[in-house]
A = this chain, B = another copy of it.
């Protein structure tokens, strides 16, 4: 399984958030996407997941184009975004059960319980989301993205608000999914963590890809310098 973004261009009105970005993510690989604020990372995930059709370029899975209009594709994708994407007035369990049903999960109750277990909030199942702390809500958002066991995961700063234990648990979950052959694209600002966790790192800057390489290679340290040196302004 290989996910490819080819020549992706995305604009918001006059702003070109992505300006011809190519990205490849193989199965069993964690690709980290880093870059200064406003570089276009979130936009890249939106384009890859099919949420937003790119103005130019296409997204291919194993060579054939995919689109957000295709339910088959949507069923294989998991997403964590900047906001939790939960209904505040519903309880944790109601939220997850709802999404599980839309994902046609047969044994929804069991899937919900298991995914809550994974992120360590099983005892909060009957709490309304509005009564959760930031980190608890983030855990539930993670649980939702894993609910249907998606082959392809898009994670936009998933460590936001997680305490060290939850972050470690998430890391090991991601490692396990990598071992199972999943495609994982991870946006983060924590360079240390991403160098430890990811197999490859892509650096975006003003909508362009400026670096793409293995994290193990010697370039990694350069990358860190390179990245911190050039990102002094977010605009």
B161 in contact with A37 (CB, 8 Å)? yes
B162 in contact with A189 (CB, 8 Å)? yes
The segment from A20-28, A57-65, A95-103, A117-125 that touches chain B is: A117-125
Q: Does A157 contact B (CB under 8 A)?
A: yes
The segment from A68-76, A127-135, A175-183 that touches chain B is: A127-135
Give the Cβ gap from A202 to chain B, nearest Cβ, in Å. Answer: 15
A35 in contact with B163 (CB, 8 Å)? yes
B189 in contact with A163 (CB, 8 Å)? yes
A234 in contact with B136 (CB, 8 Å)? yes
Cross-interface CB contact of A163 among B37, B139, B162, cutoff 8 Å = B37
Ordered by A's residue number, 17 sampled pairs between the chains whose C-beta atoms are within 8 Å are A36-B163, A36-B165, A37-B134, A38-B135, A42-B134, A82-B134, A119-B234, A121-B233, A123-B235, A124-B234, A124-B235, A135-B234, A136-B235, A160-B161, A161-B189, A164-B228, A165-B228
